[in-house]
Amino acid sequence: MIAELLPLSGRRVLDAGCGDGVLLSWMRRRGAEAIGLERGVAALARAREGLGPAGLLVGRGEALPLAAASLEGVLYHNAFHHLPADAMIEALAEATRVLRPGGRLLVLEPLAEGEYFELVRPLEDETAIRALAQAALARAGDLGLEPLPELAYDQLVQRRSVEELLAALISADPSRGVRLSAARPAIERAFARLGEPAAEGKSFRQPMLALAFDRPAGPLAIDLARSPGEKQAAFALRRAVFCAEQGVSAAEEFDGRDGEAVHLLAVEGEEAIGTLRWRRLDVAGTVKLERVAVRADRRRRGVARALLAHALARIDGRGLGPVLLHAQLGAQEVYLEHGFRPEGEPFTEAGIPHRRMVRPLHPLAAQIRVLR
């Protein structure tokens, strides 16, 4: 499935959650410049013992230690649902950031069904976290990735004995060890009941989904404004749109709250063409979205809509919401398309007619709050 969906030969590809490096080795044999990323110290040590230290990185999917546009491919094999609940959307944003235009993200995810799932369920029931992973992956398009048709297939997992099965499960996640004694009798019964005889031991069916996403070849890229230079580009754009065009005073526009806000920047080629910010208002997670600005010569091309979709995906992915904003009356339609609803009567802010709009807590954010 990987060979069919992820070009490897001559490509620089990341295996995110590479474990002990077995798949990474296979990718290298097929001609990829394959890099492994692993947060588990023990697993990474085993990978380095087998493959050497080159191209093996300590890190997490939500904070990739790689430069922007530096890869042709990113792979998550049976690993995406192991990310923290509130890090899945960030991991998708990071994959988008490090992919070159035309690059591909491939995620192979197990469903919460099938023989192997039932076999390991007494030790760890991943029904909820696997459903959350699918919900997060459904938002990849909001982050600028183009989804390909998904493919369903069966992965066969062969184990010689219950001991080998349990050793593999504990090796993948040592925290499972505390539950092992209580779960072992049920696992032993399931091992005897499920699966098919194999050359050595038994083979268990695990239904999987293959989800592939391409980074568009176009020049538009949206990401967090992290560096001082990126933030200054966002501020310069706001000065041009709000102060120069609309007559808002610099004191009103730069209200002293930029330091507490998250800033997004839309870049086309080397030029900043759009920005917005959001701020968390309270401990409950209410967010205010503000300062949506698009350069005059790039308006009516979907930039504001792309910025909003990206921002809302990342807000939802952190388990935050509801989201409120003060919309200029002429821009209400854009916000209605993204689930905002008007509240109250219009009012004047910075000399411009506005209306308060609110988007309720998104189901994805609610799921994350339960699992976090």
Q: pLDDT value at position 212?
A: 98
CA distance between the termini of the chain: 32
Distance CA 195, CA 181 (A): 23
Residues 132, 177: one domain?
yes
Are 155 and 247 members of one domain? no
Q: Are residues 194 and 262 in the same domain?
A: no
Q: Are residues 313 and 228 in the same domain?
A: yes
Tens digits of per-residue pLDDT, 13-44? 999 999 999 999 999 999 999 999 999 888 89
Looking at 214, 242, 262, the residue that finishes a domain is 214
Domain containing residue 270: CATH number: 3.40.630.30
Nearest to 111 by CA among 209, 198, 35, 30: 209
Residue with tokens 């080159």: 54
CATH code for position 157 = 3.40.50.150
CA angle 145, 148, 152 (to 5 degrees): 130
Per-residue DSSP letter, 226 = -
* pLDDT tens, residue by residue, 160-205: 999 999 999 998 888 899 999 999 999 999 999 999 999 899 999 9
Location of structure tokens 């000399």? 351
**Pairing relationship of beta strands 220-224 and 262-268 according to DSSP bridges:** antiparallel
Q: What is the mean pLDDT of residues 120-134?
A: 97
State whether the Cα torsion 100-104-110-112 is positive or negative. positive
Is residue 222 within 8 A of residue 307, CB to CB? The reply is: yes
Sorted by sequence, the CB contacts under 8 Å of residue 289 that are 6+ apart come out as 276, 277, 278, 308, 311, 315, 323, 324, 325
Domain that holds residue 205: 2-214
Query: Which tokens hold the place of 282?
Result: 């309270």
Shared-domain flag, residues 186 and 94:
yes
Q: Identify whether residues 29 and 67 lie together within a single domain.
A: yes
| Domain end (from 179, 198, 214) | 214
H or E element: which one contains 111?
A: none
57-61, long-range: CB < 8 A, 24+ apart: 60/87, 60/91, 61/16, 61/17, 61/37, 61/87, 61/90, 61/91, 61/94, 61/95
Percent of the chain with pLDDT over 90: 95
Q: How many structural domains is the chain composed of?
A: 2
Residue type, 235: F
User: Are 200 and 324 within one domain?
Assistant: no
Are residues 125 and 142 part of one domain?
yes
Domain co-membership, 126 together with 82: yes
- CA angle centred on 20, ends 19 and 22, rounded to 5°: 100
pTM above 0.85, yes or no: yes
Mean pLDDT estimate for the chain = 96
Q: Is 269's pLDDT higher than 90?
A: no
For residue 292, CA distances in Å to 28, 139, 366 come to 44, 21, 25
For residues 67 and 95, state if they share a domain. yes
Q: Which of 214, 236, 264 is the last residue of a domain?
A: 214
For residue range 305-317, list pLDDT tens digits in order: 999 999 999 999 9
Q: Does 224 lie in the same domain as 209?
A: no
Q: What is the pLDDT of residue 85?
A: 98
Region 75-89: mean pLDDT is: 97
Residue in 36, 107, 40, 44 with CA at minimum distance from that of residue 77: 107
Separation CA 194–CA 229 (nearest Å) = 58
Confidence check: pLDDT of 78 > 90: yes
- 140 confidence band (pLDDT: 50, 70, 90): very high
Cβ density class 113-123: b for 16+ within 10 Å, e for less: ebbbbbbbbbb
Q: Are residues 50 and 196 in the same domain?
A: yes
β-partners of residue 83 are none
Rounded percentage of the chain residues whose pLDDT exceeds 70 = 100
Q: Is 224 left (phi over 0), alpha (psi -120 to 50) or beta?
A: beta
What local confidence, expressed as pLDDT, does residue 321 receive? Answer: 98
| CA distance linking residue 317 with residue 139, whole number of Å | 9
CA triple 160-162-166, angle to 5 deg: 110
Q: Do 150 and 209 touch, CB atoms closer than 8 A?
A: yes
Q: Name 105's bridge partners.
A: 74, 213
